[in-house]
């Protein structure tokens, strides 16, 4: 059994959906589960809609109409008027209609998950309908009934025992009869609310299902030829890895490599399932295979860029040394507000951390820290990580930049720049 994951770029328009069906059609006779992300930049658009609804910034209904128009335009290019998928998509959007007519719930993360999740519910309806129209027997599956999470909205924690039982109970029979199309990024709580698994979490969805059902492999279809040592949008002369070890892939994703969600690799490694990263425009290309027993050599450093960073410096109000008890309290506040540390340093009088700027969470963390500590911060920064760095590469990356933090060890260098 194979698991395929198609990202938003691969289904951003009608030709993309047609191409997806062509790729799936090449695997006739194979049991196949297809995980699909929201179309194009829909998640970004739904995030803007959520912010407009919660904060009263912008025209909520105008933003919503643009999102609907985008999807119905794709529908009109694929299907004749009157096809049942038009109603299926309209019914999915009704959930947002109902929500934005009420006053906002006081939990931003809860609202976010209920609205943003509609992108995947709609994209999979369209893909499923197109596969069936092309003669590829396909069944739409609501993943929220199979990936069970706690109530940590925007980063649901998977209940593995319950998830495994649900998947193993139902999916084998479904896959015997047809291709199964389901949503990436989503989970469900015991109260039947929607959760998301973290931004770009569709890879993780594919990994969860594959590990629970013992898939032969997972393939994530991307708009790049495989995993590169750097983002070709920002760096010239990138090189592709034909193979990567699970360990190296985990390191790369931990530091922010966006080609794979950070949580994707571990379930596959535990189950011994290889992950293939291949270009959806060239299905015959070799791409990159992530698996066990690979020894990598690195002719160039791996360069990972994370933007929208904040550098926080925390110190005691009485100017005392930063002690273990201070650090325990600081990390407790980070954990309570679901804020991850990308790189950190301590000195006698301060603790400094670089974090992602996640609206809502950052403000809550800042307010909580200020109750106990003195806090300074810089925002709109960039964190650059170089795996297997050289001094020359590090110097080139930082040339002409203001470096606010620098940290190196045997294999990795990290710099926060302005």
Say if 398 falls within a structural domain.
yes
CATH of the domain at 180: 3.40.1160.10
Task: Quickly list DSSP for 209-274.
Answer: HHHHHT-SEEEEEESSSS-BSS-TTT-SS--B-SEEEHHHHHHHHHTT-TTS-TTSHHHHHHHT--
Say if 371 falls within a structural domain.
yes
Task: Give yes or no: residues 334 and 271 share one domain.
Answer: no
pLDDT of residue 58: 79
Task: Give yes or no: residues 68 and 152 share one domain.
Answer: yes
Last residue of a domain, one of 291, 310, 340: 291
CATH of the domain at 314: 3.30.2130.10
pTM (2 d.p.) = 0.90
Last residue of a domain, one of 263, 291, 319: 291
Say if 106 falls within a structural domain.
yes
Task: Give yes or no: residues 64 and 144 share one domain.
Answer: yes
**Residue 417: CB atoms within 10 Å:** 18
Task: Give the residue numbers spanning the domain of 372.
Answer: 302-417
pLDDT of residue 82: 96
Say if 81 falls within a structural domain.
yes
Task: Give yes or no: residues 248 and 162 share one domain.
Answer: yes
Task: Give yes or no: residues 224 and 151 share one domain.
Answer: yes
Say if 296 falls within a structural domain.
no
pLDDT of residue 239: 93
Last residue of a domain, one of 261, 291, 321: 291
Task: Give yes or no: residues 358 and 233 share one domain.
Answer: no
Say if 241 falls within a structural domain.
yes
Instruction: Give the whole-angstrom CA distance, residue 235 versus residue 249.
Output: 20
Task: Give yes or no: residues 307 and 278 share one domain.
Answer: no
Task: Give yes or no: residues 273 and 350 share one domain.
Answer: no
Task: Give yes or no: residues 104 and 231 share one domain.
Answer: yes
Say if 112 falls within a structural domain.
yes
pLDDT of residue 303: 96
* Domain count of the fold of the chain: 2
Task: Give yes or no: residues 177 and 208 share one domain.
Answer: yes
Instruction: Give the whole-angstrom CA distance, residue 276 versus residue 241.
Output: 11
Residue ranges of the chain with pLDDT lower than 70? none
pLDDT of residue 71: 98
Task: Give yes or no: residues 56 and 115 share one domain.
Answer: yes
Task: Give yes or no: residues 202 and 105 share one domain.
Answer: yes
pLDDT of residue 172: 97
Say if 297 falls within a structural domain.
no
Buried b (16+ CB within 10 A) or exposed e, 331-367: eebbeebbbeebbbeeeeebbbbbbbebebbbebbbe
């Amino acid at each position: 059994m194979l698991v395929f994951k198609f990202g938003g770029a691969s289904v951003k328009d009608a030709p993309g959906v047609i191409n997806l069906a062509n790729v799936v059609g090449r695997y006739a006779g194979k049991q196949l589960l297809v995980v699909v992300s929201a179309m194009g930049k829909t998640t970004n658009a739904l995030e803007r809609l959520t912010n407009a609804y919660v904060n009263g910034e912008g025209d909520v209904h105008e933003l919503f109409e643009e999102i609907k128009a985008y999807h119905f335009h794709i529908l009109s290019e694929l299907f004749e008027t009157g096809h049942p998928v038009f109603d299926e998509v309209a019914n999915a959007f009704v959930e947002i209609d109902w929500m934005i007519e009420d006053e906002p719930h006081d939990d931003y993360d809860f609202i976010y998950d209920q609205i943003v999740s509609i992108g995947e519910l709609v994209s999979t309806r369209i893909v499923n309908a197109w596969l069936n129209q092309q003669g590829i027997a396909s069944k739409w599956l609501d993943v929220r009934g199979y990936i069970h999470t706690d109530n940590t909205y925007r980063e649901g924690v998977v209940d593995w025992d319950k998830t495994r039982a649900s998947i193993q109970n139902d999916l084998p029979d479904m896959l015997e009869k047809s291709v199964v199309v389901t949503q990436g990024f989503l989970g469900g709580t015991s109260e039947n609310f929607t959760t998301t698994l973290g931004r770009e979490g569709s890879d993780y969805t594919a990994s969860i299902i594959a590990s629970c059902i013992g898939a032969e492999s997972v393939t994530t279809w991307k708009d790049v030829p495989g995993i590169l040592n750097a983002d070709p949008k920002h760096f010239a002369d990138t090189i592709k890895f034909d193979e990567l070890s699970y360990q190296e892939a985990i390191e790369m994703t931990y530091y922010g490599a966006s080609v794979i969600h950070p949580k994707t690799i571990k379930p596959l490694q535990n189950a011994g399932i290889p992950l293939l990263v291949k270009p959806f425009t060239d299905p015959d290309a070799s791409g990159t295979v992530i698996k066990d027993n690979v020894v990598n050599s690195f002719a160039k450093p791996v360069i990972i860029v994370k933007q929208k960073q904040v550098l926080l410096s925390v110190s005691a109000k009485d100017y005392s040394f930063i002690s273990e008890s201070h650090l325990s309290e600081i990390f407790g506040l980070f954990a309570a507000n679901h804020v991850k540390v990308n790189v950190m340093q301590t000195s006698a009088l301060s603790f400094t951390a670089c974090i992602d700027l996640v609206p809502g969470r950052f403000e809550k963390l800042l307010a909580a820290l200020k109750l106990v500590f003195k806090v300074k911060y810089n925002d709109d920064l960039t964190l650059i990580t170089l795996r297997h760095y050289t001094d020359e590469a590090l110097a080139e990356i930082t040339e002409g930049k203001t470096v606010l933090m620098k940290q190196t060890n045997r294999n990795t260098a990290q710099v926060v720049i302005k």
